[in-house]
Chain A
Amino acid sequence: QVQLVQSGSELNQPGASVKVSCKASGYTFSTYDMNWVRQAPGQGLEWMGWINTNTGNPTYAQGFTGRFVFFLDTSVSTAYLQINSLEAEDNAVYFCARGRQGYVYFDLWGRGTLVTVSS
Chain B
Amino acid sequence: DIVMTQSPDSLAVSLGERATINCKSSQSVLYSSNNKNYLAWYQQKPGQPPKLLIYWASTRDSGVPDRFSGSGSGTDFTLTITSLQAEDVAVYYCQQYYSTPVTFGQGTKLEI
* A residues lining the B interface (CB < 8 Å): 44-47, 49, 59, 61-62, 95, 97, 100, 103-107, 109-112
| Contact assessment for A45 and B104 in the assembled complex, using a CB-CB cutoff below 8 Å | yes
Closest 9 CB pairs of A and B: A109-B49, A105-B40, A61-B101, A104-B97, A45-B104, A105-B97, A104-B102, A47-B102, A44-B107
| Contact assessment for B55 and A100 in the assembled complex, using a CB-CB cutoff below 8 Å | yes
Contacts of A45 in B (CB 8 A): 42, 44, 50, 93, 95, 104, 107
Q: Provided the pairs A103-B97, A105-B95, A107-B61 are in contact, do residues A46 and B104 lie with their beta carbons within 8 angstroms?
A: yes
Contact code string B43-58 (vs A, CB < 8 Å = 1, else 0): 0100011111001000
| Contact assessment for A109 and B106 in the assembled complex, using a CB-CB cutoff below 8 Å | no
Give the dominant DSSP class at B's interface: loop
User: Which of B40, B49, B103 lies at the interface centre, i.e. has the most chain A CB atoms within 10 A of its CB?
Assistant: B49
Interface residues of B in 79-112 (CB under 8 A from A): 93, 95, 97, 100-107
A-B contacts, CB under 8 A, total: 54
| Contact assessment for B48 and A47 in the assembled complex, using a CB-CB cutoff below 8 Å | no
* B residues lining the A interface (CB < 8 Å): 38, 40, 42, 44, 48-52, 55, 61, 93, 95, 97, 100-107
Which single member of A47, A95, A107 contacts B52 (CB below 8 Å)?
A107
A99 nearest in chain B by CB position: B97
Complex A-B: 9 CB contacts under 8 Å: A44-B107, A45-B104, A59-B100, A62-B101, A105-B40, A105-B97, A106-B50, A107-B61, A109-B50
Given the complex of chains A and B, what is the CA–CA distance between A107 and B101 in angstroms?
A: 18
B91 nearest in chain A by CB position: A44
CB distance from A116 to the nearest CB of B (A): 16
